[in-house]
Structure 1
Amino acid sequence: MTTAELVFDPFSDEYFENPFEIYRRMRNEAPLYYCPKRDFYALTRHEDVAAALKDHEAFSSSRGCDLAMVQSDTPPQKSIIFMDPPDHRHMRSLLNKAFTPRAVQAQRDTIVEQIDHYLGQIDSDDFDVVQDFSGPFPVEVITRMAGVEPEYRQQVRHWIDTSLSREPGQVGTSEAGVKANIDTAMYYYALVQKRRENPTDDMISRLIAAEIPREDGRLDKLDDIEITGFATLLGGAGAETVTKLIGTAMVLFARNPEQWQKLLEDRELVPAAVEELLRYEGPVQYNVRYTVKEAHVPSGVIPAGKPVFLLMASANRDERAFTDTDKFDIERDRTEAQNLGLGYGIHSCLGAALARMESVIALEKLLDFMPRYEVKWDGLQRVHMQNVAGYSHVPVRRLAS
């Protein structure tokens, strides 16, 4: 029996539906994968992906984070995820102030309030975990932090979903996605103008007031484009991550009911469950970098001037890094290897602590709300998005406990 040719197509229907089999083959057969058709490389093993994430001198973020952006002649919008040091370092030190442990903890009441609100609106035993719950609540939390007006908070989520959506075979942003990006940028740009005139206690107002050192050492203010770029990123990352993580969680726990039972019996395991969800099937599949010089990783050498997929979701299933890697186990030994689910190195997720806290509280509340449940498998729908994996629809039925 001949083995099918190894083809990694991150824009195919097969990839969107289940990328883990192709990841396994790539790790074993072509850990340093090259795609001649689209002229990119891909790294799948844990040691290679971790090394590349740490090596910002060779693997640059300045051209963007997906293939279309990196291969474009147009530089991406100003945003912290599209920066290399020293600009990245200055911006990160400024933005870190919004996500200190104290600042994150201050969001707890808002998170609980939003979760209780959306669970309280569910008036049937049959509902959709994503559409009715994990879609709406995280974006309320993050956009409130940013200073978005209440009537626009859910709209931000719909713009993000539209901009990230991809049809099979589609590499770049769709017309609807381009319009969504423009609408998002115009909204945030106008909001920055309002906050310049009338500052309030929110992140956009604090960014307007902040000063950061430029390369020549002088202190400077962020311009409106920079603040718009960050606000857009914040809304996107803050909405997508937890939305997808919780939807996936309810699918995985339905497939592994003994793990759900462990949580019902011991709530202290919930934070560990969130870590295992991030490892096993996290919402962020990959980031694309650009080699500004010849780049060296344990599996080989990548020439300068090439896009490189850093497949964190594959690295987190690497048999060389984790024991029983394809087993979903909330009590696994988490000291074996670094969990790359929320990134690693200088571009690790800025809001990781917030995402973890939201996810822990959401799972705790769901354990109370639906201790026994079943997924209606025929209604399950995966998203088709660049970088992001998860479900758009997870219909469930609450069962009598």
Structure 2
Amino acid sequence: MTTATVSFDPFSEDFFTSPYETYRLMREHAPVYYSEQYDFYALTRHVNVAEAFKDHETYSSAYGVDLAQVRTGEITKHGGIIAMDPPAHRRMRSLLNKVFTPRAIEARRALVEQVIDQFLTKVDGGGFDFVQDFSALFPVEIMTIMQGVPAQDRQQIRLWIDDFLHREPGAVEMSEHGLQSAIEMSMYYYKLIKERRSNLGDDLLSKLIEAEIERDNGEMAPLDNLEITEFAVLLGGAGAETVTKLLGNAAVAFAQNPDQWQKLLDDRSKIPLAVEELLRYEAPAQYNVRRAQRDVTLHGVTIPAGSPVFLVGGSANRDPEAWTDPDVFDIDRDRTQAQNLGLGYGIHSCLGAALARLESALALDRMLDFMPRYEVDWSGCKRVNMQNVAGWSNVPVRVLP
């Protein structure tokens, strides 16, 4: 079997529904996959994906974060820290690392608990949509509270994000509606930042306004409004999507594997292990796109310089060369076997990883209280159609007596 007989279309309905059989075929028969349809390459084996995540000199982020951007061949001027290579990335990351220290995130524990309870207590256990009524609502609420977004605007951020990440099957480019939402969200944050400059507080936007960063000439200077806007959009998007999708996946995975849910009911100290296994088993972000900066030869295939390269972490986390029985959902899995790529790896590993883990762990703990026994209405489950994101838009559930 060759690339020609393995079909990987990350913009297809089949991909949005379940890509794991395709990943298996790619790992076995086309570990360096080439798409004639879209003119990109893809790496799917754990060893290659992990190495590529760490090699920013070969696999550049500076040309953008999706296929539409990368294949233009132009370094992107806007996109924030995720579309940067060192040294600019290092300077920006060091600035944000000060805001997302483990101590700073732990200090948000009470806020996270309060917001989770706020939304979970509103649902009807007799029948509710786990995603639309719960897991889609609270993560963006937490992030926008941290940013200082007024209460009446917080859920609007989520709706804008859903719009600009959505892709109809076969669509590579953002839709006109999605582009409009991206513009509106950016304009909203830009205006909010301008207003915040004259009314600083203890929120993330105020901290970024007050911060200084080392520029290319070595001098320290404050961030401008556009740079802070890019940070705000990125944090809003990551804060809304990662935990929303992880918990939707959790509701499905535990319903399909009730023995694993019982393990948590019996021993809540296993909750952090469950979060890690959820990130491995079905990571919210399935792939990242980079640009090859030089010719790279792997498994007898040469990736030409300038080519878009998909680093498919979702496949790497199911690689049997890295994990024992990788398609089995097992919260007691030996985590030392391989690097879990569910939140990225290398310099672009998820900046908000500690917050995502805290939110997910506390939400699972509350779920164990609220819905110790539950069933899913499988006929009502619906997948998202989103760029590089795996998850559910609808998971109807009912708490059992």
> Under TM normalisation by the shorter chain, which class is it?
over 0.9
1:283 maps to 284
1:129 pairs with 2:130: yes
CA distance, structure 2, for counterparts of residue 336 and residue 359 of structure 1: 23
Indicate conservation of the 8 Å contact 1:46/1:318, yes or no.
Answer: yes
1:365 pairs with 2:366: yes
2:162 maps to 161
2:331 maps to 330
How far has the Cα of 1:141 moved from its partner? 0.7
Q: 1:255 to 1:76 in 2, by over 3 A?
A: farther
Residue type matched to 1:236 in 2?
G
1:255 pairs with 2:269: no
Residue type matched to 2:361 in 1?
V
- State the TM-score, normalizing by the size of structure 1: 0.97
1:5 maps to 5
Indicate conservation of the 8 Å contact 1:48/1:299, yes or no.
Answer: no
CA RMSD of aligned residues (A): 1.6
Secondary structure (helix, strand or coil) at the match of 1:197 reads: coil
CA distance, structure 1, for counterparts of residue 258 and residue 185 of structure 2: 40
1:389 maps to 390
CA distance, structure 2, for counterparts of residue 270 and residue 346 of structure 1: 27
CA distance, structure 2, for counterparts of residue 318 and residue 393 of structure 1: 28
Q: 1:85 to 1:60 in 2, by over 3 A?
A: same
Deviations, residues 32-60 of structure 1 (Å, cap 9, x unaligned)? 11112221100000000001000001111
CA distance, structure 1, for counterparts of residue 319 and residue 10 of structure 2: 19
CA distance, structure 1, for counterparts of residue 246 and residue 261 of structure 2: 15
2:66 maps to 66
Aligned length in residues: 400
Indicate conservation of the 8 Å contact 2:3/2:33, yes or no.
Answer: no
Residue type matched to 2:180 in 1?
K
CA distance, structure 1, for counterparts of residue 378 and residue 7 of structure 2: 29
Secondary structure (helix, strand or coil) at the match of 2:5 reads: coil
- State the TM-score, normalizing by the size of structure 2: 0.97
CA distance, structure 2, for counterparts of residue 391 and residue 19 of structure 1: 14
1:93 maps to 94
CA distance, structure 2, for counterparts of residue 346 and residue 177 of structure 1: 28
1:219 maps to 220
2:20 maps to 20
Indicate conservation of the 8 Å contact 2:316/2:341, yes or no.
Answer: yes
Residue type matched to 1:29 in 2?
H
CA distance, structure 2, for counterparts of residue 54 and residue 4 of structure 1: 29
How far has the Cα of 1:209 moved from its partner? 1.2
Indicate conservation of the 8 Å contact 1:127/1:395, yes or no.
Answer: yes
Secondary structure (helix, strand or coil) at the match of 2:82 reads: helix
Farther-moved stretch of structure 1 (295-304 vs 328-337): 295-304
CA distance, structure 2, for counterparts of residue 73 and residue 235 of structure 1: 27
Deviations, residues 177-213 of structure 1 (Å, cap 9, x unaligned)? 0010001000000011011111111111111111111
1:105 maps to 106
2:195 maps to 194
Secondary structure (helix, strand or coil) at the match of 1:322 reads: coil
Deviations, residues 81-115 of structure 1 (Å, cap 9, x unaligned)? 00100000000000001110111011111110011
Give the percent of matched residue pairs that are identical in Structure 1 and Structure 2.
60
2:47 maps to 47
Indicate conservation of the 8 Å contact 1:31/1:299, yes or no.
Answer: no
Indicate conservation of the 8 Å contact 1:78/1:225, yes or no.
Answer: no
CA distance, structure 2, for counterparts of residue 310 and residue 358 of structure 1: 26
Q: 1:3 to 1:144 in 2, by over 3 A?
A: closer
Q: 1:297 to 1:227 in 2, by over 3 A?
A: farther
Residue type matched to 2:335 in 1?
R
The correspondence of residues 209-358 of structure 1 with structure 2, limited to 5 A, is 209-295=210-296, 301-358=302-359
Secondary structure (helix, strand or coil) at the match of 1:98 reads: coil
Q: 1:152 to 1:77 in 2, by over 3 A?
A: same
Indicate conservation of the 8 Å contact 2:31/2:299, yes or no.
Answer: no
Farther-moved stretch of structure 1 (22-31 vs 202-211): 202-211
Deviations, residues 302-321 of structure 1 (Å, cap 9, x unaligned)? 22101000000000000100
Secondary structure (helix, strand or coil) at the match of 1:355 reads: helix
Indicate conservation of the 8 Å contact 2:292/2:309, yes or no.
Answer: yes
Residue type matched to 1:57 in 2?
E
1:172 pairs with 2:178: no
CA distance, structure 1, for counterparts of residue 224 and residue 86 of structure 2: 19
Indicate conservation of the 8 Å contact 1:81/1:347, yes or no.
Answer: yes
CA distance, structure 2, for counterparts of residue 273 and residue 249 of structure 1: 9
Farther-moved stretch of structure 1 (122-131 vs 27-36): 122-131
How far has the Cα of 1:64 moved from its partner? 1.1
5+ long unaligned stretches in structure 2:
none
1:144 pairs with 2:108: no
Secondary structure (helix, strand or coil) at the match of 1:99 reads: coil
Secondary structure (helix, strand or coil) at the match of 1:288 reads: strand
Indicate conservation of the 8 Å contact 1:65/1:287, yes or no.
Answer: yes
CA distance, structure 1, for counterparts of residue 6 and residue 64 of structure 2: 27
Q: 1:382 to 1:76 in 2, by over 3 A?
A: farther
Indicate conservation of the 8 Å contact 1:52/1:297, yes or no.
Answer: no
